[in-house]
Amino acid sequence: MSKPTSIKTTEAVRDRLRILAQERGTTITDLLEDLAAGQLTGAEREQRAFEAARELGVDYAEQVQRAGRAAWERIRAHQGHAAA
């Protein structure tokens, strides 16, 4: 079992997290754990892109890496608009 800790944030963010957790029938802690577990780090995204390219028989050259990063940036931008 992990040792509890605290995260500093604004009251507005805390209140929004409380509402989101209540709507999902969970706690803020569980909501944050799900969020953290569901997001890939940059290194994880890069590794998955490398593996996908290998499976497709594509050379994972700098051009492909740039295109992959650009695609992830666009995906995140669209996700941000969905939250608005």
Report CA torsion sign: 56, 58, 61, 66: negative
The values of phi and psi at residue 27, to 5°, are -105, 165
Q: Is the pLDDT of residue 80 over 80?
A: no
Angle between helices 11-24 and 28-37 (to 10 degrees): 90
Contact 60, 53 (CB under 8 A): yes
pTM of the complete model: 0.58
Dump pLDDT digits (tens) for 66-79.
Answer: 888 888 889 989 88
- Rounded Cα distance between 27 and 4, Å, is 14
